Amino acid sequence: MLDELCDNETELAIVEHTTATPGYTEILFALFDLLGFRFTPRLRDLSRQRLYTAGAIDLQRYPRLPPHGRRRINRRRILDWWDECLRVAGSLKLGWVTASLFVQQLQTYPRKNALARALQAYGRLLKTLPILRWYAQPADRRRLTRQLNTGEALHDLRAFLMVANKGQLRRKSPTELTHQALCLNLVTNAVICWNTVYMAAAVEQLRREGYPVQERDLAHVWPTRYAQINVYGKYHFNVEEVWGRHALRPLRQPGTVVS
């Protein structure tokens, strides 16, 4: 995922990535921060996570925190290797090395690699911050949960579209696997694009008819629906007919059945 964020060529300025517990390591916390991204995974067994501090805790301001934040990060290790950490960030940003390859090499022998230990120490401090925000900011918890639910809905759509081979990518060569994955992304994006256009048209029609449409409710509507899609059989695309179409299809009225 960090590779894709570094190679982002879209108009969207991505600032945050959310994932579940299996998608995080302490080194990733450090790399995301060095590259200017915010990494906020939803950690399982949060009460068992270790909290790290850079110095003494203000007992008057945080009287309940000391029992949970007894561990200190190794500040000297981070400072000694800070220039190397910045060089790594520059190499990833310029594309001289991919993040996936770099992390793979670091995790081969993390205890023997001084740079890996420095990134891990820095990542421990960065991991502590989202844990504290999770406890202190209920609105932030709801926002992260909504982002994760959106991602899970996207996974459900991809699983629905992968009807062959029990939803598994089965090709022998890396090139064929890449083609299969790109085809799946193409179809997924086509479904999301189609849903977005027609859901926007439906919302506009509701507004014209006088129905109250709240912007805060639209944040919970995701264009990853697939109940209307038939993945079986053969599809024929009439390109000339599509290019000659100057308007959207008529919207189906609620309660009607499409044969």
User: pLDDT confidence of 66, banded at 50, 70, 90?
Assistant: low
Residues 38, 160 within the same domain: no
The first and second tokens of residue 169, run together, are 């990518």
User: pLDDT confidence of 80, banded at 50, 70, 90?
Assistant: very high
Residues 117, 36 within the same domain: yes
Find the domain containing 23 and state its range.
2-136
Q: Using one digit for the tens of pLDDT, what is the confidence trace for 113-153?
A: 888 889 989 998 888 888 888 888 888 888 888 888 888 88
Element (H, E) at 121: helix 114-136
Residues 6, 95 within the same domain: yes
25 vs 83, more confident: 83
Going by C-alpha positions, the residue among 41, 224, 228 that lies closest to residue 150 is 224
Residues 185, 204 within the same domain: yes
Q: Using one digit for the tens of pLDDT, what is the confidence trace for 7-26?
A: 877 777 888 888 777 667 88
Residues 46, 165 within the same domain: no
**248 DSSP assignment:** P
Instruction: Establish if 251 belongs to a structural domain.
Output: no
Q: Are 58 and 51 in contact (CB under 8 A)?
A: no
Name the one residue in this structure whose structure tokens are 């600032």: 15
Residues 155, 81 within the same domain: no
User: pLDDT confidence of 39, banded at 50, 70, 90?
Assistant: confident
Domain boundary, last residue among 118, 136, 154: 136
Residues 82, 165 within the same domain: no
Domain boundary, last residue among 75, 106, 136: 136
Instruction: Establish if 120 belongs to a structural domain.
Output: yes
Rg of the chain on CA atoms, in Å: 24
Residues 120, 214 within the same domain: no
Residues 194, 149 within the same domain: yes
CA atoms within 13 A on the CB side of 4: 6
**Rounded to an integer, what distance in angstroms lies between the CA atom of residue 5 and that of residue 14?**
7
Q: Using one digit for the tens of pLDDT, what is the confidence trace for 165-182?
A: 666 767 677 887 788 888
Instruction: Establish if 240 belongs to a structural domain.
Output: no
Q: Using one digit for the tens of pLDDT, what is the confidence trace for 84-123?
A: 999 999 998 888 888 888 888 877 766 678 888 899 899 9
Instruction: Establish if 197 belongs to a structural domain.
Output: yes
User: pLDDT confidence of 82, banded at 50, 70, 90?
Assistant: very high
Instruction: Establish if 198 belongs to a structural domain.
Output: yes
Residues 109, 48 within the same domain: yes
Residues 27, 94 within the same domain: yes
Domain boundary, last residue among 112, 136, 160: 136
Is the pLDDT reported for residue 257 higher than 60?
no
Instruction: Establish if 254 belongs to a structural domain.
Output: no
pLDDT for the residue numbered 67: 64
pLDDT for the residue numbered 81: 92
Instruction: Establish if 22 belongs to a structural domain.
Output: yes
pTM of the model: 0.68
Is the pLDDT reported for residue 59 higher than 90?
no
Q: Using one digit for the tens of pLDDT, what is the confidence trace for 224-249?
A: 988 888 888 888 888 888 787 777 88
Instruction: Establish if 151 belongs to a structural domain.
Output: yes
Residues 120, 164 within the same domain: no
Element (H, E) at 243: helix 239-244
Is the pLDDT reported for residue 48 higher than 70?
yes
Number of domains in the chain: 2
